[in-house]
Amino acid sequence: MTESLLITLSIVTLFLPLLGFAVVVLTGKKFSKMYLFEMLIISATLLISLTIAFFKLSYYPHDIVASLDWFKFSNVPGIGTLNFEIGVKIDNLTALMLIVVNLISFLVHLFSIEYMHGDPRYNRYFSYLGIFTFSMLGIVLTHNLLMMYIFWELVGLSSYLLIGFWFEKKSASDASKKAFIVNRVGDIGMFAGILILFTNYHTFTFDKIFEQISMGHLPFNSPAWLTAAGILVFMGAVGKSAQFPLHVWLPDAMEGPTPVSALIHAATMVAAGVYLVVRIFAMLTADAMTVIAIIGAVTSFIAATIALTQNDIKKVLAYSTVSQLGYMIMALGVGAYSFAFFHLVTHAFFKACLFLGSGSVIHAMHHEQDIRNMGGLRKKLPITYYTFLISTLAISGIPFTSGFLSKDGILAGTLTFGKLTGYWFIPALGFLVALLTAFYMFRLVILTFHGEPRDHHKYDHAHESPFVMAAPLVILATLSIFIWYTPNPVGADQGWFLSKWVKTPHTVVPQNQRFNFMKTEEKTAAAETSEPALHEAEAPVHGEITHSEMYTEAMHASHYPAMFLSIAMAGLGILFAFLIYQWKKISADMLEEKLRPLHKFSLNKWYIDELYDATWIAGTLAFSKMLYWIDSVIIDGAVNGAATVTRFVSRLSGLFDTFVVDGFVNFTAFLSGFIGLNFKKLQTGKVQTYVIFVVFAIIIIMLVFKPY
């Protein structure tokens, strides 16, 4: 396996799903079995990806990069050559993401064979899965922001197509439109951030940008712009990873087929936002990281409170996804880089399992999604139940699951952050959310699977899912166990995942702009002595340590408190769930009655949708109506008015022409005629009259001129 072969394979694995999409979408109408082609493609993609990941993780400690110019401008005045590069970079993160994306994608394909059976656009569905896989792999493989943005939008497209797959339903087409537009809001920010970086560095490539920043070249020579660039690019993640205030699209996205929700809106695409922040982590300033941490914490809290009262099985899972994504973002904000990525991976598996499990339930209940109509399904759907339970334990953070490891690390990170910076509300929110998560997830499990069936008709018809649906559940549930990531069930630090594969990158932000516990790449001794002023505050540490010792110590110190506290929180949450819903010691209705305003607030999702409808959407539409009115009445009115004025003036000048100019001419003629007519009468034809005139004329002349 040479590097170039790995690159070639990665490009093959990128474009195979696109081929699948193109072939199936073009021929799917004629040949009803075309979906099998897509299955073949995704299997091949999975195999190749596993190969790449295996070789990368085992044999290549360094990154493998290949790039080419997509297009370029030569001899640009003042700049020289302007390259728009695209390229592939395979590092450990890429390798791990390749496994996650392709494995889940494959399992979802498999699951969908049965779940989507009988749909009139069956083949079309599989082709859409193909284009999604293609776009997602593009995000994973890229080494630059431009290509990231391109595939970012393409996953947006595939998400649009898949959410709106049943577009006959108004709610589905609404949801797909909403998803695309809300994402666009974030994308604009991301694009602006990319522009800031490109304008200054003339490159989109992460590594080149970082290199320039580390050499002290800040955007527009100002650290504020670096913070701005970080936050703006992060806005892309706010949109895609459904962070507050742009989280509103994700719950609606549940209108799509459930396997799609598992693949796109739980495991992979929404995690792309986290992946983006992971990629730009090195250039985040302290301010940017604080903003990120706060947004993550607030999102996870809001989503968790909403999830408490939802009755749609998918909605609960959707809000739990938002909440968990908030966790990851928060983790990145507090500097717990490796745990954020770790949580991304573990969450992808157990959340995909939960969604597919809910798909299995919905399938069994003939498209019933309301958990108030379920109950007692444990006996009917044993495989679904146990896999669902394992994943629920994982998301609640119970020991021996993968979720426990990653969540515990994140909470320890927030504690450390609180200790080092004084932002204590972030760990506080983090632990509170842990409690809420355990509570609402077990509420979901108990209401769905435990107790007595509440809708006997549907219950009687329920049946366990066939093999192609059960197998993905089992595989994903297995992957939610700790053993895949570390041999130690209570601490992941020493596991291969964190100690070997995922390492926090060195920050490139100048010292006075970053948290003092983040470290830059150490300069060589020579370089250090030459610039002592810049680096005197840093201890000359070499090797892989990327946080200061202060941070490492604090992290160690918070490990056990965080662990015990998080287990306690999870246990408390589970206990309450059982007390209320299983043993009915506390009446849910009574609680609801007592906390009515809070309950309504949560049930109505904090009224955020209503707020947006009333402000942004209504405002935009009203503004656009107003502008149209101005356009047609005032601006076009001015044009037509100019025409009217012109016509009026021309009519006036026409009148002037007829009556004044021509009138004068006619008057002259008339006058002559008038005079002629009247003087004609003097010409009587009688000589005698003439003679009288002559005589009188002579007399008058004589009198007037007096010639004598």
Residue choice 111, 128, 151, 497 for contact with other proteins (CB under 8 A): 151
Does 23 sit near other proteins (CB under 8 A)? no
Does 645 sit near other proteins (CB under 8 A)? no
Does 180 sit near other proteins (CB under 8 A)? yes
Tokens of 20: 């699948």
Q: Give the interface segment with other proteins, choosing from 3-11, 177-185, 302-310, 506-514 (CB under 8 A).
A: 177-185
Q: Which of 259, 261, 272 is nearest to 108 (CA)?
A: 259
Query: Dihedral of the CA atoms 522, 526, 530, 534 (nearest 10)?
Result: 10
Does 117 sit near other proteins (CB under 8 A)? no
CB-CB contact of 459 with 440 (8 Å)? no
Does 702 sit near other proteins (CB under 8 A)? no
β partners of residue 481: 401
Does 341 sit near other proteins (CB under 8 A)? no
Which is closer to other proteins, CB of 174 or CB of 609? 174
Tell me how many residues contact other proteins (CB under 8 A).
60
Which is closer to other proteins, CB of 47 or CB of 621? 621
> Looking only at residues 675 through 694 of this chain, which bind other proteins when binding is defined by CB under 8 A?
683-688, 691-692
Residue choice 125, 128, 191, 342 for contact with other proteins (CB under 8 A): 191
Distances in whole angstroms, Cα of residue 47 to Cα of each of 9, 51, 278, 310, 339: 11, 6, 26, 39, 27
Q: Which of 313, 294, 408, 322 is nearest to 355 (CA)?
A: 313
Residue choice 137, 154, 274, 329 for contact with other proteins (CB under 8 A): 154
β partners of residue 67: 87
Report the nearest approach of other proteins to the CB of residue 145 (Å): 12
C-alpha–C-alpha distance, residues 138 and 101, integer Å: 11
CB-CB contact of 535 with 528 (8 Å)? yes
Report the nearest approach of other proteins to the CB of residue 77 (Å): 5
CB-CB contact of 383 with 473 (8 Å)? yes
Q: Give the interface segment with other proteins, choosing from 108-116, 147-155, 365-373, 459-467 (CB under 8 A).
A: 147-155
Report the nearest approach of other proteins to the CB of residue 155 (Å): 11
- Asked if omega into 251 is within 30° of 0 (cis), the reply is no
The set of residues, in sequence order, having a beta carbon less than 8 Å from that of 291 and lying 6+ positions away, is 231, 234, 333
Which is closer to other proteins, CB of 175 or CB of 434? 175
Helices of type H across 242-381? 249-252, 258-262, 269-280, 286-307, 313-333, 337-364, 377-380
C-alpha–C-alpha distance, residues 81 and 636, integer Å: 46
Which is closer to other proteins, CB of 77 or CB of 597? 77
Q: Give the interface segment with other proteins, choosing from 173-181, 389-397, 428-436, 492-500 (CB under 8 A).
A: 173-181
Does 71 sit near other proteins (CB under 8 A)? yes
Report the nearest approach of other proteins to the CB of residue 173 (Å): 4
Report the nearest approach of other proteins to the CB of residue 232 (Å): 10
Helical packing angle, 382-396 and 549-577, nearest 10°? 140
Task: List, as one string, the DSSP characters of 30-99.
Answer: T-TTTHHHHHHHHHHHHHHHHHHHHHHHHH--S-EEEEEEEEEEEEETTTEEEEEEEEEEE-HHHHHHHH
Q: Which of 174, 503, 473 is nearest to 338 (CA)?
A: 503
Exposed/middle/buried for residue 451 (C-beta within 10 Å: 0-12, 13-18, 19+): middle
Residue choice 4, 199, 494, 587 for contact with other proteins (CB under 8 A): 199
Does 75 sit near other proteins (CB under 8 A)? yes
Which is closer to other proteins, CB of 150 or CB of 572? 150
> Looking only at residues 600 through 639 of this chain, which bind other proteins when binding is defined by CB under 8 A?
620-621, 623-625, 627-628, 631, 635-636, 638-639
Q: Give the interface segment with other proteins, choosing from 38-46, 175-183, 353-361, 476-484 (CB under 8 A).
A: 175-183
Report the nearest approach of other proteins to the CB of residue 47 (Å): 26
Exposed/middle/buried for residue 374 (C-beta within 10 Å: 0-12, 13-18, 19+): buried
Report the nearest approach of other proteins to the CB of residue 524 (Å): 35
Q: Which residues bind other proteins (CB under 8 A)?
A: 29, 70-77, 79, 82, 149-151, 153-154, 157, 160, 164, 167-170, 173-174, 177, 180-181, 184-185, 187-188, 191-192, 195-196, 198-199, 620-621, 623-625, 627-628, 631, 635-636, 638-639, 643, 683-688, 691-692, 695
